[in-house]
Structure 1
Amino acid sequence: MAEFDLIVKGGTLPDGRVTDIAIRGDRIVAVETLPEGVTAGTVIEASGDLISPPFVDPHFHMDATLSYGLPRVNASGTLLEGIALWGELKQIVTVDDMVARGLDYCDWAASMGLLAIRSHVDTCDDRLLGVQAMLELREKVKGYIDLQLVAFPQDGFYRDPTARVNTLRALDMGVEVVGGIPHFERTMADGAASLAELCRIAAERGLRVDIHCDETDDPMSRHIEALADETIRHGLQGRVAGSHLTSMHSMDNYYVSKLLPLIAEAGISAIPNPLINIMLQGRHDSFPKRRGLTRVREMQAAGIRVGWGQDCVLDPWYSLGTADMLDVAFMGLHVAQMSHPAEMARCFEMVTETNAAILGLEGYGIAPGNMASLVVLDAKTPVDVLRLRPARLAVVSKGRVIARSPRADAALSIPGRPASVRRRAPG
Structure 2
Amino acid sequence: MSEPSFLPEARAYRLRNARVPGAFLTGGVPAGAILDGDACALIDIVVADGVIAGLLPAGASPDTLPAADLAGRQAWPRLVDAHTHLDKGHTVARTPNPDGDFPGARDATTADRTRHWDAEDLRRRMAYGLACAFAHGTGAIRTHLDSQDSAGEGALRDQAATTWAVFREMRAAWAGRIALQGVGLTPIDAYATAYGRRLADLIAESDGLIGGVTRPTGGLHGGALAEIDALLDRLFRLARERNLDVDLHVDETGDPAAASLDAVARATLRHGYEGRVTCGHCCSLALQPDAQASDTIARVAQAGIRIVTLPTVNMYLQDRQRGRTPRWRGVAPVQELMAAGVPVMVAGDNCRDAFYAYGDHDMLDTFRASVRILHLDHPLAGAPALAGPVPGAMMGLPHAGTIREGAPADLILLPARSLNEVVARPHADRIVVVAGRAIAARRPAYEALSGEAAPW
| Counterpart secondary structure, 2:103 | helix
Once the two structures are superposed, what CA deviation does each residue of 1:83-123 show, in whole Å capped at 9, x if it has no partner? 22111111222212111111111121112111111100111
In the alignment, what sits opposite 1:37?
Answer: 64
Q: Assess, with a 3 A threshold, how the Cα gap between structure 1 residues 319 and 195 changes in structure 2: closer, same or farther.
A: same
Displacement of 1:224 = 0.8
From 51, 54, 73, the counterpart of 2:78: 54
Contact 2:245 2:276 in 1 (8 A): yes
Mapped pair 1:263 → 2:300 = yes
Q: Tell me the residue number matched to 2:21.
A: 14
Q: Which amino acid aligns with 1:133?
A: V
CA deviations over 1:235-262 (Å, ceiling 9, x no partner): 3222211100011122111211211110
Distance 1:60 1:168, change over 3 A: same
Offset from partner CA, 1:62-103 (integer Å, 9 cap, x none): 011112222x21011112221221111112222121111111
Paired residue for 1:129?
A: 162
CA distance in 2, matches of 1:231, 1:6: 47
Which of the numbers 124, 148, 156 marks the counterpart of 2:181? 148
Q: Which amino acid aligns with 1:75?
A: P
- Deviation by residue 1:150-185 (Cα, 9 ceiling, x = unmatched): 1111x4442896651342132133142111111235
Matches within 5 A, 1:150-229: 150-153=183-186, 155-158=187-190, 163-184=195-216, 188-229=225-266
Cα separation, 2, equivalents of 1:260 and 1:281 = 21
Separation of aligned partners in 1, 2:382 and 2:194: 42
Comparing 114-123 with 18-27, which one deviates more in the overlay?
A: 18-27
1:307-386 equivalences in 2 (<5 Å): 307-340=345-378, 342=379, 344-364=380-400, 365-386=402-423
Backbone CA RMSD of aligned residues: 2.4
User: Greater RCO between the two (CA within 8 Å, min separation 6)?
Assistant: 2
CA distance in 2, matches of 1:204, 1:49: 49
1:401 matched residue in structure 2: 438
Alignment partner of 1:74 is 2:97: yes
Q: What are structure 2's unaligned runs of at least 5 residues?
A: 1-8, 23-39, 151-157, 443-456
Q: Which residue of 1 aligns with 2:27?
A: none
Residues 205, 348 of structure 1: CA spacing in aligned structure 2 closer, same or farther, 3 A cutoff?
same
Q: 2:171 is matched with which residue?
A: 138
User: Match of 2:381, SS?
Assistant: helix
- Amino acid across the alignment from 2:167: M
Contact 1:143-1:398 within 8 A present in 2 as well:
no
The percentage of counterpart residues that share the same residue type is: 27
Match of 1:425 in 2: none
* SS of residue in 1 equivalent to 2:145: strand
Alpha-carbon distance in 2 for matches of 1:144, 1:44: 24
Aligned AA (1:245): C
Runs (5+) with no aligned partner, structure 1: 406-427
Q: Equivalents in 1 of 2:42, 2:102: separation in Å? A: 45
Moved more, 5-14 or 294-303: 5-14
- Give the direction of change, closer, same or farther, for the CA distance of 1:392–1:267 in structure 2 (3 Å limit): farther
Aligned to 1:96: 120
Counterpart residue number, 2:33: none
Query: What code does the residue aligned with 1:165 have?
Result: R
Detail structure 1 runs of 4+ shifted over 4 Å in the superposition.
159-163, 284-288
Q: Which residue in the other structure is 1:112 paired with?
A: 136
Look up the match of 2:51.
27
- Say if 1:275 and 1:226 are closer, same or farther in 2 by CA, change over 3 A: same
The whole-number CA distance in structure 2 between the counterparts of 1:146 and 1:111 is: 14
Structure 1: how far apart are the matches of 2:65 and 2:358?
Answer: 45
CA contact (8 A) 1:394 1:403 kept: no
Contact 1:180 1:198 in 2 (8 A): no
What is the aligned partner in structure 2 of residue 301 from structure 1?
339
CA-to-partner distance for each residue in 1:190-223, whole Å, 9 max, x for gaps? Answer: 3332322222333333332110011112211111
In structure 2, relative to structure 1, the CA distance for the partners of 1:26 and 1:198 (3 Å cut) is farther
Q: Residue 231 of structure 1 corresponds to which residue in structure 2?
A: 268
Corresponding position: 1:289 with 2:327? yes
- Change over 3 Å in CA distance of 1:382–1:234 after alignment to 2: farther
AA aligned opposite 1:363: H
Q: Distance in 1 between matches of 2:326 and 2:399?
A: 46
Tell me, in whole angstroms, the C-alpha distance in 1 between the residues paired with 2:313 and 2:296.
24
- The answer to whether the 8 A contact 1:54-1:115 is kept is yes
Q: Is the 8 A contact 1:12 1:19 kept in 2?
A: yes
Conserved? CA contact 1:56–1:356, under 8 Å: yes
- Comparing 234-243 with 210-219, greater Cα deviation is found at 234-243
Aligned counterpart, 2:284: 247
Q: Could you tell me which amino acid in structure 2 is paired with residue 113 of structure 1?
A: G
Letter in 2 for 1:360: G
Inter-partner Cα distance in structure 1 for 2:48 and 2:431? 17
Conserved 8 A contact 1:14-1:381: no
Provide the aligned length of Structure 1 versus Structure 2.
397
